[in-house]
């Protein structure tokens, strides 16, 4: 597995490079700022990006995206509801994602979850093929954008946000999703990683989504 987190921009947003160490194919998740660093990292990893995936289209996740696309003629994949909310489009190769869609990255499969609440078109991406991370045995990983963070949740007091919808997304799509387990690592849009099990025990808002 190729995996790299790069913290970018004024709001310290997490950009992730994720993909196959066999084929060197990767997706780049939320390349909002610091495009030179992202591009250099791709070169150092000898990685070939096949798509940009957006968890949502707030400025800190997409501000410099078009600059990134000058170097890579690849599709940008996200929920069309973000355009209806006033964000994008970003390229002629934009592709819309929906619940249940899959994205193949070499031998790895990412599954798409629709998780509104922070924004109408917020998406999460999970992979069940990753069974180990930094020596820890796991059941998989999930990129949650600004839906849920380590010990916290995403904001809902922004245009298109809805707290009750956000809690419902966390509950149904993360905490009680039969395809996920407590042993999935969460890689959020800001701050450090956590796990589903940890957030069930320690998240300060857990009473609202458990």
* The overall pTM is greater than 0.95: yes
Residue 65: predicted pLDDT: 96
Task: Provide the b/e sequence for 43-70 (b: ≥16 CB within 10 Å).
Answer: eebebebbbbbbbbbbebbbbbbeebbe
Q: What is the CATH number of the domain that holds 138?
A: 3.60.15.10
**Total domain count, the chain:** 1
Angle, CA 13 vertex, CA 99 and CA 128 arms, to 5°: 40
Q: Which two tokens stand for residue 5?
A: 């987190």
Low-confidence ranges of the chain (pLDDT < 50): none
- Per-residue pLDDT reduced to its tens digit, 143-176: 999 999 999 999 999 988 999 999 999 999 999 9
Residue 110: predicted pLDDT: 98
Number of Cβ within a 10 Å radius of residue 139: 16
Residue 81: predicted pLDDT: 95
Residue 85: predicted pLDDT: 76
Domain, as residue range, for 9: 2-208
Residue 168: predicted pLDDT: 98
Residue 169: predicted pLDDT: 98
CB-based contacts of 199-203 (< 8 A; 24+ apart in sequence): 199/148, 199/150, 199/151, 199/175, 200/175, 202/151, 203/148, 203/151, 203/152, 203/153
Residue 36: predicted pLDDT: 97
Q: How far is CA 126 from CA 43, 51, 121, 130, 188, in A?
A: 25, 16, 16, 10, 12
């Amino acid at each position: 597995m190729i995996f790299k987190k790069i913290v970018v921009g004024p709001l310290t947003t997490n950009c992730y490079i994720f993909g196959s160490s066999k084929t060197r194919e990767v997706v780049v998740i939320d390349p909002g700022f610091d495009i030179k660093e992202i591009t250099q990292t791709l070169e150092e990893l000898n990685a070939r990006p096949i798509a940009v995936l957006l968890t949502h289209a707030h400025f800190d996740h997409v501000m410099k995206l078009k600059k990134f696309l000058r170097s890579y003629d690849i599709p940008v994949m996200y929920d069309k509801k973000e355009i209806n909310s006033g964000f994008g489009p970003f390229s002629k190769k934009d592709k819309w994602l929906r619940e249940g869609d899959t994205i193949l990255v070499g031998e790895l499969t990412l599954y798409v979850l629709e998780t509104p609440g922070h924004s109408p078109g917020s998406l999460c991406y999970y992979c069940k093929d990753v069974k180990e991370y930094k020596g820890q045995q796991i059941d998989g990983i999930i990129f949650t954008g600004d839906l849920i963070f380590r010990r916290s949740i995403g904001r809902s007091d922004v245009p298109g946000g809805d707290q009750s919808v956000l809690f419902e997304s966390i509950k149904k799509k993360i905490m009680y999703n039969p395809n996920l387990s407590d042993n999935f690592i969460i890689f959020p849009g800001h701050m450090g990683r956590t796990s589903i099990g940890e957030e069930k025990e320690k998240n300060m808002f857990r009473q609202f989504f458990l």
